[in-house]
Amino acid sequence: MRKYSHVIVIGIDGAGAYIKDAITPNFDKIFKDGAKTFDALASNPTISAECWGSMLLGVGPEVHKLTNGIVSNNPYPTDSAFPSVFRRIRDIYPNAVLGSYCDWNPITYGIIENGIGVSHDTAKDFQLTPIICDYIRETHPDFLFIQFDSVDGAGHRNGYGTAAHLESITHADKLVGDIYNTAKEALDMEETLFMVIADHGGANNENGGGSHGGWTDSEKYVTFAAVGKNVKSGNIGTMNIRDLAAIVLYAFGIEPPKFDENGWTAQIPEGIFTDDSLPEYKDISHLTGAAPRISKTPHTSELV
């Protein structure tokens, strides 16, 4: 049974767990009584395509095998054994209104199937937000995925966790507030699941600036927050960012694929929903390289 009429996800690239250190009045207000964590585990390696791919496909990078080069140059196949959540929603709800609005357009081009009726646009964060708000008002989307990229750019230029990086998170928080307030005006928030997630954090270079792709704590632990009618208030337990796919399917009442270490590994983390029927969360740390919880040497894998 479908649990929400509308699901909105805002992804903030490169925000990591640094949202907790930045001035974020909108985030704080929106998720005051929601479920959140600053310890969600990114995908390994902590690179954009690997991470966003895991979130939207529900499988790890070792399975989806997407890289920045692949998603930038190749459309995501419509016959993949690992369809995106957009495709899974479309298959069950043929008339669903679906949107993907991303500053980093390879997400829409290379991780989401083309030709399945997903509305999309791309622009810088501050230019994209008014377009998104108009889209919400005009279409009342069933599922809307948004990606902001400016925070990651600030981390690359200035270093992650620096004043400039944290200030960029504050700017993104203003945009999150704009979108949330538009949703409040246009949608029934009792029937809306609203989420914010980061894909990865970053590590700072000795000669200035920052990078990511390694497995240090500052790269691999990220923010996730949710608010909705059956969302618990408090801290979420163990979570991997790929779990976003399972959360989205749950919101739409879509049965997820069977858990398979060689395939679908997205799950519903403990501490998100007031639903006692959810299966026990399985430990997949042996698949992610996350055990033990230690930092490793940073590795630069992505350019500004």
Would you say residue 293 has pLDDT above 80?
no
Choose among 146, 105, 134: nearest CA to 10. Answer: 146
pLDDT tier at 66, thresholds 50, 70, 90: very high
> Which of 21-30, 34-43, 188-197, 206-215 comes out lowest in average pLDDT?
206-215
What's the whole-number mean pLDDT along residues 14-37?
A: 98
Q: Which of 102-111, 196-205, 211-220 has the least mean pLDDT? A: 211-220
How does residue 125 score in pLDDT terms, banded at 50, 70 and 90? very high
Task: Say if residue 139's pLDDT is above 70.
Answer: yes
Residue 142 clears pLDDT 80, i.e. is over it = yes
Q: Which of 14, 43, 79, 32 is nearest to 227 (CA)?
A: 32
Nearest to 232 by CA among 188, 278, 187, 173: 278
CA distance 54 to 66: 9
pLDDT band at 35 (very low <50, low <70, confident <90, very high): very high
Q: What is the mean pLDDT of the chain?
A: 94
- Checking if the pLDDT of 286 tops 90, the result is no
SS3 category, 240: strand
Q: How far apart are CA 288 and CA 239, in angstroms?
A: 12
Tokens 């993104």 map to which residue? 172
Q: Which domains does the chain have, with CATH numbers?
A: 6-288 (3.40.720.10)
Q: Is the pLDDT of residue 61 over 60?
A: yes
pLDDT at 207 over 90: no
Residue 202: name the closest of 191, 215, 193, 190 by CA. 215
Residue 78 confidence (pLDDT) above 50: yes
Q: What is the pLDDT of residue 197?
A: 99
In the chain, the percentage of residues whose pLDDT exceeds 90 is 89
Inform me whether the pLDDT recorded for 108 exceeds 70.
yes
Instruction: Tell me the mean pLDDT in the region 24-32.
Output: 98
Percent of the chain with pLDDT over 70: 95
Poorest-confidence range of 33-37, 134-138, 257-261, 292-296?
Answer: 292-296
pLDDT value of residue 268: 98
Q: What's the confidence (pLDDT) of residue 290?
A: 60
Q: Return the pLDDT at 57.
A: 98
Strand partners, 147: 11, 102
